[in-house]
């Protein structure tokens, strides 16, 4: 089972260098976006009501 | 031949002598001691809204603190390293800051005739100083120079706690302490005699958001504002730091796991030398 899985991974992602490199870059981008979004959200939750974006709407005139 | 009793007496005497010498050294010779009159009273640690590795500044407090600085402190203290544009997106909107900057006249030039001229302030101008130079500042303040407040939170031992304590710590000089004419007693100030009079009183200003302007509220707000002025990168710095620590921890764990995986076969291998 594990060997079949590893074999599939090898054939689809690792055999061709072009596919491998594309995979590396895609993973990097996706990971960064997901991590940053999650971290920013946690940060804003911890500091709710304190940052400028939380009080900005009191002062912006349109 | 000494009897056990006289031996014991000697031991007791020697021990007592050592103890008395040590205690005497501690009290009369040892230079390490707290002289609160000389060094200033140590400020207590206050629970600042931006204390701790996960806390940003309270920006509503920065906004109120700017109002305190503008209406009270800026009469004597400059804020040279802060430009109007620094307030945008921190405590005020761009339109508000533009309007505030335009109320101040700045000297610019030279124009086509080679002469300097006055113009209303722009976002890129720095906060106007109360005095044109140090001599003027000293002449107006009985020889004392009001320090620039841009980096004052970083520049004073105790930082924000010290500032808050100074602003709220004015009191009658205790019996036996002589304060010269023109000086004021403040136990948190090194030496106890400060040239600045108490500046904050309950109800001195009126906050636009309706917060009651007590002495301690104004001191807290202006200290938060000055903490921001000394460290405008504070919020971003803490956020990036937390993110970096999380990512680096994951990568460290991964590399440790990888090393152990690679070394597993080497470390469990048995090498035997058979001599025939």
Residue-wise pLDDT for B13-42, tens only, equals 999 999 999 888 887 777 676 677 788 899
% residues pLDDT > 70 (chain B): 97
- Chain B hits for A60, CB-CB cut-off 8 Å, are 93
In a domain, A28, yes or no: yes
Q: Is some CB atom of chain B closer than 8 A to the CB atom of A33?
A: no
Question: What ipTM does this complex have?
Answer: 0.84
The dihedral over CA atoms of B116, B120, B122, B125, expressed in degrees to the nearest 10, equals 60
Task: Provide the number of structural domains found in chain B.
Answer: 1
Q: Which of B56, B93, B239 is opposite residue A59, by nearest beta carbon? A: B93
In a domain, B265, yes or no: no
Q: Closest residue of B to A32, CA-based?
A: B247
| A10 or B257: which leads in pLDDT | B257
In a domain, B43, yes or no: yes
Q: Which of A52, A55, A59 is opposite residue B96, by nearest beta carbon? A: A59
Q: Do B239 and A43 touch (CB under 8 A)?
A: yes
Q: d(Cα B30, Cα B43) in Å, to the nearest integer? A: 24
In a domain, B66, yes or no: no
Domain that holds residue B167: 38-56+146-234
Q: Closest residue of A to B87, CA-based?
A: A52
In a domain, A23, yes or no: yes
In a domain, B169, yes or no: yes
What's the DSSP call for residue B184? E
Task: Provide the number of structural domains found in chain A.
Answer: 1
Residue for token digits 């010269």? B180
pLDDT, position A34: 97
In a domain, B190, yes or no: yes
In a domain, A60, yes or no: no
Distance from CA of B60 to the nearest CA of A (A): 7
Q: What is the DSSP string of B114-177?
A: S--EEEE--TTSBPPPSSSSHHHHHHHTTT--PPP-TTHHHHSTTHHHHHHHHHH---PPPTT-
In a domain, B259, yes or no: no
In a domain, A37, yes or no: yes
Distance from CA of A12 to the nearest CA of B (A): 23
User: Lowest mean pLDDT: which of B18-27, B127-136, B147-156?
Assistant: B18-27
In a domain, B93, yes or no: no
């Amino acid at each position: 089972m594990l060997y079949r899985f590893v074999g599939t991974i090898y054939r689809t992602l690792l055999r061709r260098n072009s596919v491998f490199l594309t995979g590396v870059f895609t993973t990097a981008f996706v990971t960064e976006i997901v991590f940053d979004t999650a971290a920013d959200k946690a940060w804003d939750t911890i500091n709710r009501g304190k940052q400028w974006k939380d009080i900005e709407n009191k002062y912006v005139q349109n | 031949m000494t009897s056990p009793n006289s031996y014991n007496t000697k031991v007791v005497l020697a021990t007592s002598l050592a103890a008395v010498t040590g205690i005497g050294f501690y009290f009369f010779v040892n230079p390490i001691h707290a002289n609160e009159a000389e060094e200033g009273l140590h400020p207590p640690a206050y629970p600042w809204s931006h204390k701790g590795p996960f806390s940003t500044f309270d920006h509503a407090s920065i906004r109120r603190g700017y109002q305190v600085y503008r209406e009270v402190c800026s009469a004597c203290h400059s804020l040279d390293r802060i430009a109007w544009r620094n307030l945008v997106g921190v405590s005020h909107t761009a339109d508000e800051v533009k309007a505030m900057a335009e109320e101040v006249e700045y000297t610019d030039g030279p124009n086509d005739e080679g002469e300097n001229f006055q113009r209303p302030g722009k976002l890129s101008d720095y906060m106007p100083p109360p005095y044109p130079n140090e001599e003027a500042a000293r002449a107006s303040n009985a020889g004392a120079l009001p320090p620039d407040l841009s980096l004052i939170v970083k520049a004073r031992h105790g930082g924000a706690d010290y500032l808050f304590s100074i602003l709220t710590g004015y009191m009658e000089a205790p019996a036996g302490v002589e304060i010269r004419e023109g000086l004021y007693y403040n136990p948190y100030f090194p030496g106890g005699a400060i040239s600045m009079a108490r500046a904050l009183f309950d109800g001195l200003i009126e906050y636009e958001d309706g917060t009651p302007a007590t002495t301690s509220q104004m001191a807290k707000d202006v200290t938060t504002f000055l903490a921001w002025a000394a460290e405008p990168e504070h919020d971003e710095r803490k956020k990036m730091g937390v993110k970096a620590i999380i990512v680096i921890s994951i990568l460290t764990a991964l590399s440790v796991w990888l090393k152990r995986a690679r070394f597993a076969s080497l470390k469990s291998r048995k090498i035997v030398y058979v001599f025939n």
